[in-house]
Amino acid sequence: MDRRMHPDPRPLVLSLIGITKRFGPLTANDHIDLDVRAGEIVALLGENGAGKTTLMSILFGHYVADEGTVHIADADGELAPLPGGSAEAALAAGIGMVHQHFALAENLTGFENIVLGTRPLWSFGLGGREARAKIERLIAESGLAVDLDVKVARLSVGEQQRVEILKALYRDVRVLILDEPTAVLTPQEADGLFATVRKLSAKGLAVIFISHKLHEVLALCERVVVLRGGAKVADRPTAGGDRAMLAELMVGRAIPTRERPPSMPGAPVLSLTGISVGKPGERDRLEDADLEVRAGEIVGIAGVSGNGQGALAALVAGLAAPRAGQLHICGHPAVAADPRARLAADVGRIPEDRHRDGTIGALSVAENYVLETIGESENQSFGFIRRADIRARAVEAIRAYDVRCPGPGAAIRALSGGNMQKVVLARVLEREPKLVLAHQPTRGLDIGATTDVHRRLIAARGRGAAVLLISEDLDELFALSDRIAVVHAGHLSPAMDAENLDVKTVGLMMAGHSAGEAA
């Protein structure tokens, strides 16, 4: 509306009109209009399942819209309809996308990755000098510094992302879509990315920024488009907006602020002394780590993915044995890599990847609910499964944890991520474990499910459980943790009081600065 009252002088580069996409009974996109102008940074905000991915897939030619049209400016700036269902047409029209999961060939260099696919098959070489000159010009203009001659596998995640963006720029994109680009970055790296995006937009590039991190949207974007349940519910300038308002638009109701009573830590439940896990050459390892998690507190582990969190989680979950050092759970030494021993020691474990480690897709909700306890007398007698009892308790858990599913007999893979995670939570927390390992417990969940997970973890803390929270989401860590430790390149910092800690310090430590330098 604003736009029409104060006409924007910048030319339209992209115009989606009435895009509708249905999957059976589900309307993933419901008459969505979206205009993007040259040089504009537009945020596309929405929960999981709000229709962001579907909309971008239509734009990118992976899906064909049931209704509606996509118009994109041609070389002369005239809007022309984009044929649906063709990724080639989208690429040729100047639409570029950097996906959350990079599409890079790891055994090729950055240069090769950027040029790959732009040369006809029958031409010799990769167009060496010209191509390099162009890429170097792009680097100079955008500030996307990266060593072009190193294999991508050896680049850091942030550098890989820069290669991805350069790849798009090299193809002369006019609309750049960034899908959750900061998920893998430290706050400082994210700031660097934002500076680059601002530079590029100043040169006329239109950017669509997909995110669910509200502060980033407010910091970077001039306009925000909010999708909810497949429909566009807001399209407004970010100026004058705040996080609470955006969250409400996104979820459609007010988000309750979390109640977090002060912590009253008790005796140590988990203690690591001089622990080393993982092979010395691996990136995801721990070296000489000390950590203590006491009853009734939540200790958060911050860090960029792959810096040792995986090794820590594997150690606590009972999947990896320490190379050196002492691990004590409730004062008892725990050495062997044995998930059963952890269960016996009252450790509840929420794995990072619920599809891969947390659930067995083909089994039912009820069977997944008793996965860890099937051998116990409440679930079996004389080796036979007590099906009626399990079913009754699963029904009870489904109610208590508000799992939306057709019933206890439904295959768990039919459930949404949030509901699947609720089943995992029910399994882990019903036993009232003394120690809870929560590894990325809200990854990929929408705000509603995330709030629910947070509430459960705080409740576990409230009844005296020690909670080890490993997360890449700093908002989550600061919202839940009593103390926070940072892991970088296998080194775990001492846990610091979250009260006296700010995001900037943690961010610098995530990038490898010591606590003293960071403060």
Q: Does 18 bind other proteins (CB under 8 A)?
A: no
* Tokens (6 digits) for 215: 């502060």
Structure letter (DSSP) for residue 511 = T
Site string for other proteins, 404-433 (x = CB under 8 A): --x--xxx--x-------------------
Contact between residue 64 and residue 85 where contact means Cβ atoms under 8 Å apart: yes
Region near other proteins per CB under 8 A, out of 139-147, 166-174, 326-334, 375-383: 375-383
Of 245 and 343, the one with the shorter C-beta distance to other proteins is 343
Q: Length of the chain in residues, anyone?
A: 519
* Tokens (6 digits) for 454: 């947070």
Considering only residues 314 to 373 of the shown chain, the ones binding other proteins according to CB under 8 A are 317-319, 338-340, 342-343, 349, 351, 356-363, 367, 371-372
| Binds other proteins by CB under 8 A, chosen from 87, 374, 392, 400 | 374
| Binds other proteins by CB under 8 A, chosen from 3, 33, 64, 219 | 64
Site string for other proteins, 260-289 (x = CB under 8 A): ------------------------------
Closest CA to 314 of 272, 344, 355: 272
Region near other proteins per CB under 8 A, out of 155-163, 288-296, 383-391, 500-508: 383-391
Region near other proteins per CB under 8 A, out of 180-188, 257-265, 313-321, 323-331: 313-321
The CA-to-CA distance between both ends of the chain, in Å, stands at 45
The span from the CA of 38 to the CA of 9, in Å, is 10
Q: Which residues are CB-contacts of 100 (< 8 A; sequence separation ≥ 6)?
A: 179, 180, 181, 183
**How would you write 198-232 as a 3-class SS string?**
HHHHHCCCEEEEEECCHHHHHHHCCEEEEEECCEE
The span from the CA of 279 to the CA of 287, in Å, is 10
Closest CA to 348 of 291, 290, 432: 432
Site string for other proteins, 65-104 (x = CB under 8 A): -x----------------xxx-------------------
Of 367 and 473, the one with the shorter C-beta distance to other proteins is 367
**How would you write 348-359 as a 3-class SS string?**
EEECCCHHHHHC
Considering only residues 427 to 486 of the shown chain, the ones binding other proteins according to CB under 8 A are none
- What is the contact surface with other proteins in residues (CB under 8 A)? 23-24, 64, 66, 83-85, 317-319, 338-340, 342-343, 349, 351, 356-363, 367, 371-372, 374-375, 379-380, 383-385, 387, 406, 409-411, 414
